[in-house]
Structure 1
Amino acid sequence: MIKGEAVFNGEREVKYLFQKSNACRSLVVVFSAFGAEGKPPAYNYLRALEGYDCNKLYILDDFGCRASYYLCENRDFYIERSVISLIEQIVRDNDIKRVISCGSSKGGYAAIYYGLKYDFDSVIAGSPQYFLGDYLFNSNSLADVSRFIAGGSDIEDKDFMNEILQDSIRNSRPSPRLYLHVGRGEYHYNHHVKPLIKELNKKGIQYDLDLGDYSDHADVAKHFPEYLKRMISRETGVPYIKLLNEPKSTIKINEKYEFHAHSSDPESTFAWYLYKGGKTIEKRMYTSSNKTIFDFAEPGQYQLKVFVKNADERKVTAKSKIINVKEAPSD
C-alpha cells in the first residue's frame, strides 16, 4: 500500500487516495488509464495536479486481471456500485458542492460514464474510448479484460460492451459540461471520439473539443496534463499557472537566471522558494511581479517552486525541473 492509500469497503473493496482541501468545495475525481503491460495498476496525474488546492480523489482500478473500466464483472455492476458509493461518501463527509471527473483513455471513458450517469458538474476526458467492445476485442492483450467485464468473448458480449456508454448518454438527465481532448491524427479520434460527439449532439449535451497535434495514442500522456490543468482551473477558480523559459538542466556556477511564471488570473500575486538538495534556502514572499532572478553561487542540485494566489485567495503551485549547477570546466 502506498502512502496515503485507503480502502473503501463497499460491495467490493476499492483502493483510493484522497487529498483534502480546506479552501475549496470542488472535488476532482481521477480515473486511471491502463498501466504498462506487466506493471501493476497505478494512480494517474498525481504529479500533474499536486499543486492544485482542491479536493482530489484518485481511484484505483485493480479489479480483474488488469482492469474493469470501473464497471462490472460478468455483467454484475457491483464494482460501479462500490465506486460511486465511495464518491458519494467523500462528497458527504467533505461538504462538496461540485464534482469534476477526469481521466485519459480508459480513465477518460470512466470519467464520461460516471459524469453522465451520476450528474457530475463537469467531465474532462483525454482520448477516451467510446465503443468499448470494439476496442477490447481488437486487442489480444486485452481479451481477459473483455471476458472479465462481459463474461464471454462472442459477438453478443462485444455488443453489450459497445452499448454501455451509449446507453449512459441516451439515458442521461441534465448533463455536465464535457471537455474532450484527442490527437487529431489518432485512431481514437475517428473511431471513438467522432461517434461519441455524434451521440452527444443527438442528446444536446454541450462539449468543448480540443485537438492535439499528434497521432500516437500513447502521446496523450504528454499532451493531456496541461489541458487537464487548464480545464480544472476554469472549473474550480484556481489559477492556471506555468513556469516559462526554464533554464537548461545544467548551468554554470555564479550564473544568474530570470524565472517567469504565467498565471491565467491577471490579479495574481507570486511567491518564490528556492531549494538546494531538497532543503529550502531562500524565500521571496508574495508580490505582483511574475518574474524573479536567482544567482546560483554554489554548485549543487536546485529546484524552484512558485506559489500563486488570486484575489479570492485561491492558491496553486508549480515546480521547476531539477537544476544542476556546476563549476565551469577549466581550460
Structure 2
Amino acid sequence: MKAEKINKYIEYGTTKLKVLYKEKRFKSEGYTIKYMLEKNDSDSLIVVLSGIPRQGLKARYNYGRTLSKIKANKLFILDDFGYDQRGAWYLGKNKDFKIKEATHKLIKKVKKDLNIENTIYCGSSKGGYNALMFGLEDKGSTIIAGGPQYYLGERLTNGVYPTYTLPYIMGENYNDEDIQVLNDLLPNIVKKSKENDCKIFLHYSDQEYMYDTHVRYLVKDLHDNEINFVEDVHKYKKHAEIAYHFPKFLVKSLNKILS
C-alpha cells in the first residue's frame, strides 16, 4: 500500500506539470471544457473522465502517469465545474445538461480528427459513473469503470456532496422529482444500450458501502439487460482505497483490450 500511495503523489505532481503545456480548451453549448490530448500512432482512443477530489481541492486530471506506457491516443477531460470546482458529473448547471452535450461533441470531434476505430472510456468512482454514462451511449465502445455510483440523486443527497453539487446541477430550488431524475439517469442509459454492443470491465469491492447502495444494482441491471461485462471483485473496506487498486486493473484491462 505504501508504494501505491507514493505513486499517487508522483502522479499528482507530474500531472500538474503536464497541465502547464498540454491543457487545451473546447467551447460549446455555453461551456468551456478543459482537456489534454496525447496522440499516438493508433486507431484507439482512451477517454479518461475525472473523479471528484476530497473537499477543499479542485478537480484534477486522473491516471496520466498510470497510462504513460499505454500506446494509444488518450483524451483526458476535466470536470472542474460546480460552485466549488470539484465537478458537476459532466452534466450541467440548473438542469440544462449542456456540459454533457459539450463533452459528447469534444469526444466526437477528437474521434473524427484522429480516425478512431476503437474508443475506451475509463474512470473510477465519479469517473466510473461518467465512463458508463458516455461509453454506453457510444456504440461498440469499451468501458473500464471502478466503484461507480449508480443512483446519482441518492449519492448527492447522502451527506457527502449536497452543499454545493446538487444545487449547481439541478438548481437551488431542486425537489424530490429532480433527485429522481438523477437517480434514473444512468439506469435509463443502461436499459437503452442493450443493442449498442458495448463491453464493460467493472472493478469494485463488495465490502465497502458503495457496493450495497449502488454497484450491486448496476450489476443486476447489466445482467438483466444482457450487457457484456466482466468483474474484478476485491475486499477492501473503504471506498477511497479504490485509488490504490483500480490503476492496476485499468492497465491490465487496457493491455488486454489493445493487444
Classify the TM-score, shorter chain: 0.7 to 0.9
Q: Distance in 2 between matches of 1:171 and 1:141?
A: 28
- Number of the residue aligned with 1:99: 119
3-state SS in 1 of match to 2:200: strand
Aligned to 1:17: 36
Aligned length: 236
Q: Which amino acid aligns with 2:237?
A: S
AA in 2 matched with 1:63: F
Which residue is 1:205 aligned to? 227
Q: Is the 8 A contact 1:114 1:120 kept in 2?
A: no
In the other structure, the counterpart of 1:183 is 205
Q: What is the CA-CA distance between 1:141 and the residue it aligns to?
A: 3.8
Shift, 1:140, TM fit: 4.7
Instruction: Give the Å deviation of 1:62.
Output: 1.0
Question: Residue 251 of structure 2 aligns with which residue?
Answer: 229
One-letter amino acid matched to 2:184: E
The alignment yields a C-alpha RMSD, in angstroms, of: 1.3
Task: Kindly indicate whether residue 68 of structure 2 is the aligned counterpart of residue 46 of structure 1.
Answer: no
Alpha-carbon displacement from aligned partner over 1:183-218 (angstroms, at most 9, x marks no partner): 121111121111011111221111111111201000
Report the AA paired with residue 91 of structure 2. Answer: L
1:157 counterpart residue number: 178
User: Where does residue 174 of structure 1 map in the other structure?
Assistant: 196
TM-superposition CA deviations, 1:203-247 (whole Å, max 9, x none): 11111111112010000000000000011111111xxxxxxxxxx
Contact 1:73 1:148 in 2 (8 A): yes
What secondary structure is seen at the aligned counterpart in 2 of 1:91? Answer: helix
The 8 Å contact of residues 49 and 76 in structure 2, kept in 1 or not, is answered as yes
Segments of 5+ residues of structure 1 without an aligned counterpart are 238-331
Paired residues for 1:232-311 under 5 Å: 232-237=254-259
Q: TM-score, normalized by length of structure 2?
A: 0.88
Q: Could you list the per-position Cα deviations for residues 16-65 of structure 1 after superposition, in whole angstroms to 9, with x for gaps in the alignment?
A: 0000002x111000001101211111000011001111100000001122
Q: CA deviation at 1:142?
A: 3.5
SS of residue paired to 2:54: coil
Alignment of 1:82 with 2:102, yes or no, is yes
Letter paired with 2:226: G
Residue 136 of structure 2: aligned partner: 116
Which moves more between the two structures, 104-113 or 58-67? 58-67
Higher RCO (CA-CA < 8 Å; seq separation 6+): 2
2:46 maps to 1:28: yes
* Most deviating of 170-179 and 6-15: 170-179
Q: TM-score, normalised by structure 1?
A: 0.69
Shift in Å, 1:116? 0.8
| Structure 2 CA distance for aligned equivalents of residues 7 and 180 of structure 1 | 30
Tell me the alpha carbon deviations over residues 83-132 of structure 1, each in whole angstroms, 9 at most, x when there is no partner: 01110111011111100000000000000011112225200000000011
SS in structure 2 opposite 1:46? coil
Kindly name which structure, 1 or 2, has the bigger radius of gyration based on alpha carbons.
Answer: 1
Partners of 2:63 and 2:250 lie apart in 1 by 9
Check 1:50–1:203 CA distance in 2 against 1; reply closer, same or farther (3 A cut).
Answer: same
Give distance in 2, aligned partners of 1:128 and 1:146.
18
Query: Contact (CA 8 Å) 2:137, 2:196: kept in 1 or not?
Result: no
Q: Distance in 1 between matches of 2:235 and 2:24?
A: 38
Whether the aligned pair in 2 keeps the contact of 1:28 and 1:55 (CA below 8 Å) is yes
Work out which of the residue numbers 142, 152, 156 in structure 2 matches 1:132.
152
